[in-house]
Amino acid sequence: MDVSSRRLRYFVTLAEELHFSRAAARLFLTQQALSKQIRELEDEVGARLVRRTTRAVALTEAGEVFLASAREALAAIGAGVDAARRVHQGEAGTLRLGFVIGAALELTTPLLRAFAERHPGITLDMHESGFGDPTAGLADDRSDVALIRLPVSAPDVESQPLFTEPLVVAVPLGHPFAARTEVTATEVAAEPIVAGRCDDPLWFGYWTLEAHRDPALPRRVVRSSSQSEELEMVAAGVAVAVTVAGIERYAGRGGLRYVPITGVSGSRLAVAWRKGRRSPGVAWFADVARDVREAEAGIVGLIEGTSTADARR
User: For 213-265, how does the pLDDT look when each residue is reduced to its tens digit (9 = 90+)?
Assistant: 999 988 899 999 999 999 999 999 999 999 999 998 887 778 999 999 999 99
Is the confidence at residue 72, as pLDDT, over 80?
yes
Q: What pLDDT was estimated at residue 312?
A: 42
Q: Tell me whether domains 93-164+267-304 and 167-262 share a fold.
A: yes
**Class of CATH domain 93-164+267-304:** alpha beta
The CA distance from 107 to 294, in Å, is: 11
Confidence of residue 166 (pLDDT cuts 50, 70, 90): very high
* Domain 167-262, CATH among 3.40.190.10, 3.10.580.10, 1.20.120.640, 3.40.50.2300: 3.40.190.10
Confidence of residue 90 (pLDDT cuts 50, 70, 90): low
Q: What pLDDT was estimated at residue 258?
A: 96
Q: What pLDDT was estimated at residue 310?
A: 45
Write down the domain spans for the chain.
5-88, 93-164+267-304, 167-262
The CA distance from 99 to 137, in Å, is: 8
By three-state DSSP, how is residue 52 classified? Answer: strand
Q: Which residues of 149-186 are buried (b: 16+ CB within 10 A; e: fewer)?
A: bbbbbbeebbbeebbbbbbbbbbbeebebeeeeebebb
**Mean pLDDT on 44-48:** 92
Confidence of residue 311 (pLDDT cuts 50, 70, 90): very low
CATH node for 5-88? 1.10.10.10
Going across the sheet that includes 256-262, the strands are: 183-184, 256-262, 167-172, 240-244, 193-196, 221-224
By three-state DSSP, how is residue 94 classified? Answer: strand
| Residue-wise pLDDT tens digits, 93-102 | 899 999 999 9
